[in-house]
Amino acid sequence: MNDAERIFTGSRTQRAEPELPAPLEPQLRENGQYLPSEAMQNAVEVALLLGQPLLLTGEPGTGKTTVAAALAHERFGGHFLEMQVKSTSGRDDLLYRIDELARFRDAQPGRTQRPLIDYIEFRPLGEAILRACDPQTPLLHRSGRELHADEKFLDDVFGAARPRRVPVVGDLLPEARDWTGPTRYVVLIDEIDKAPRDMPNDLLEEFDRMAFAIPEADLRVKPQKDAKRPIVIVTSNSEKSLPDAFLRRCAFHHIAFPEDDLELTAIVRSRLGKLRIERLGDLLELFRLWRAKLQRRPGTAELLQWLELAGTSDSIAAARSRRDMEKPLERLVHVIAKQEADLTSARSILEDWASA
């Protein structure tokens, strides 16, 4: 970021809108740009063999959310669904959602009440379980018994004009015209530790059997025994502990920040592609100083963002010494320090590094 690229000039004269680069974060999340460690590869293989979700922990910015997209891209044809967990999220937010407001509106005089299925939206885990089935897999009653073609409640769910047969899984996703057979999806459940404490325990049956009920429709989805179980990746920033019953049903891996410079350099090269970064060794040394001394340690995401900006700086590219790099790097310190005290410390660490 050179002086000529500054957005604020201190002048009251109206200037043309500056050309801004594309946001970096979506680029870093692109498929195929994740370099897994051997330990991560082992954890994924264990989860696949056990048919269990893989729980990933680690500092924010260590690439937990990238694992699922990369796995889907490399091994499962790009079949990927994700959910960002919120403080209000519950079990059904992962499985399905019923638009009760639309149902209430259509129940008013003069409006047409549609079948219940028209108001159901399947969420990531629910859709992945459905797509793991053959579309012709029969649905069950919520109690687990087999259905017949003539149950009255089925007219309410699928409409009076429905085919007079036992409903099948494919009837739940009529718009999925590309769905011709069982398909394995990778599902990301991101930051589950944000959810209410009971939410993970509410998913035990779904994780064990990869089946679920829709009580409002009196239906149950139960894949066949040989169905392709979805691959579930669950991330946590460890803001609060997860229930033991939930942990027992997961494989586990903790993503640590790379301690080896060769590994860190390989990650940088894989994620930032052909970007030329001058004096990368010096920059990594400075970053490790910041990680060691700042109150809030910057993670891999901050490192990549910082290096992306440094790699596009003409001043840094032309620098002959650390002292030459100090001023342009000081302009980028806001990527690294996220607290007031850390801003001061980061500048002081930078000054000492440049003087060494």
* Average confidence (pLDDT) over 323-352: 95
The pLDDT score that the predictor gives to residue 241 is 87
Single-letter code of the amino acid located at 169? V
CA distances from 71 to 75, 127, 264, 293 (A): 6, 18, 20, 34
* Average confidence (pLDDT) over 40-50: 93
Looking at per-residue pLDDT, the higher value among 260 and 191 belongs to 191
Query: Domains of the chain by range and CATH?
Result: 3-7+259-355 (no CATH), 38-255 (3.40.50.300)
Evaluate if residue 305 carries a pLDDT over 80: yes
The pLDDT score that the predictor gives to residue 279 is 82
Under 8 Å between Cβ of 196 and 90? yes
The pLDDT score that the predictor gives to residue 23 is 59
* Average confidence (pLDDT) over 194-204: 89
Model confidence pLDDT, tens digit, residues 212-252: 999 999 999 998 888 888 999 999 988 788 999 999 999 99
Evaluate if residue 266 carries a pLDDT over 90: no
The pLDDT score that the predictor gives to residue 280 is 85
Evaluate if residue 30 carries a pLDDT over 80: no
> What is the distance between the alpha carbons of residues 29 and 231, in angstroms, rounded to a whole number?
19
> What is the distance between the alpha carbons of residues 80 and 102, in angstroms, rounded to a whole number?
28
Residue matched to tokens 């691959």: 231
Evaluate if residue 8 carries a pLDDT over 70: no
* Average confidence (pLDDT) over 39-59: 92
Evaluate if residue 181 carries a pLDDT over 80: yes
The pLDDT score that the predictor gives to residue 102 is 94
Average pLDDT, the chain: 87
**Cα-Cα-Cα-Cα dihedral sign, residues 289, 295, 296, 302:** negative
> Based on the number of CB atoms within 10 Å of its own CB, is 80 exposed (0-12), middle (13-18) or buried (19 or more)?
buried
> What is the distance between the alpha carbons of residues 46 and 75, in angstroms, rounded to a whole number?
15
Confidence band, pLDDT 50/70/90 cuts, at residue 3: very low
Rounded to the nearest 10°, the torsion over CA 36, 74, 253, 264 is: 10
Evaluate if residue 18 carries a pLDDT over 80: no
Looking at per-residue pLDDT, the higher value among 181 and 80 belongs to 80
Model confidence pLDDT, tens digit, residues 96-121: 999 999 999 999 998 888 999 999 99
Confidence band, pLDDT 50/70/90 cuts, at residue 10: low
Model confidence pLDDT, tens digit, residues 53-70: 999 998 877 788 889 999
CB atoms within 10 A of CB 56: 26
The pLDDT score that the predictor gives to residue 32 is 46
Model confidence pLDDT, tens digit, residues 113-171: 899 999 999 999 999 999 999 999 999 999 999 999 899 999 999 999 998 999 999 99
